[in-house]
Amino acid sequence: MVKKVGILINGGDAPGLNAVIRAIVRTAEKNGIECYGFKDGFNGLLHNDYVRLDKAEITSGILHKGGAIIGSSLNSNVFNYKVIENGEVVYKDLSEKCVQNLKDDGIDCLFTLGGDSTQKSARDFSLRGINVIGVPKTIDNDVACTDVTFGFNTAVSVASESLDRLHTTAETHNRIMVLEVMGRYAGWITLESAIAGGADVALLPEIPYDIEKVVEKIKARQAEGKNFSIVVVSEGAYPKGGSMSIKDERHGGKGVINIQLRRCRRTSCKTT
């Protein structure tokens, strides 16, 4: 019999977080279940820092609010957690402490709101006997076995609106306008916003681009008397024979390297 559930959020914020929290709390209360939110995601779980969530006070009136009332964690993989020992950075598996906290708190099930890395940790917790429900949250829409993740539709809507605004300036001043959107390894935002916003070129991380083909497309438009073009590019797009351009590397989970991308590669920018 489930009596208590916990909620945590990991990764970047996305539209709909508070709506999901509210839905979980309302459903839990209808079934006589207590609901608790771990503050700042996995950090809260590790330090056993949580707050009681209820319909009457904390979660009332949050449906329309952005962000997340319980915060979120970034780069907080408790299976490979960054700690300072003797002035040096080391990485340790602190997941057992999290498991013990859940048991001590009497949490019967944990809701994890997050993307790919979050759900990997959720899987690992489930392998250690914790009941977990993963709620796919990422604007990139790149969680396996999930059709649409919450936050994605809003991201596409914002990007499409931006393209509508860029069109007028590009056409008025005969310019080539480039819109960069999120999408390190998945180009869903780029593809769908490009279609919805009427872009002329879309560069996706799944398909290495040929810059000459891009130039060819723009020149073909110019030959038709269209002296402006709109290009949408994913942050992780890269040219044929090339690779993603990175600023630095951050250690993530076991054997996983998270890559932080530069806004663009200089050689590519000069070519365009």
User: Is 105 among the residues known to form the active site?
Assistant: no
Q: What are the φ and ψ backbone dihedral angles of 220, each rounded to 5 degrees?
A: -65, -40
The size of the chain, in residues, is 272
Q: Tokens 């110019």 correspond to what residue?
A: 222
Give the E-state strand segments of 31-138 in sequence order. Answer: 34-38, 50-53, 81-85, 88-92, 109-114, 132-136
Q: What are the φ and ψ backbone dihedral angles of 34, each rounded to 5 degrees?
A: -80, 145
Name the catalytic one among 140, 142, 200, 210.
Answer: 140
SS3 23: helix
Give the E-state strand segments of the chain in sequence order. Answer: 4-9, 34-38, 50-53, 81-85, 88-92, 109-114, 132-136, 176-181, 201-203, 229-234, 246-251, 257-261
**CB of 161 closer than 8 Å to CB of 173:** no
Closest by Cα among 173, 160, 164, 162 to 228: 173
Catalytic residues: 140
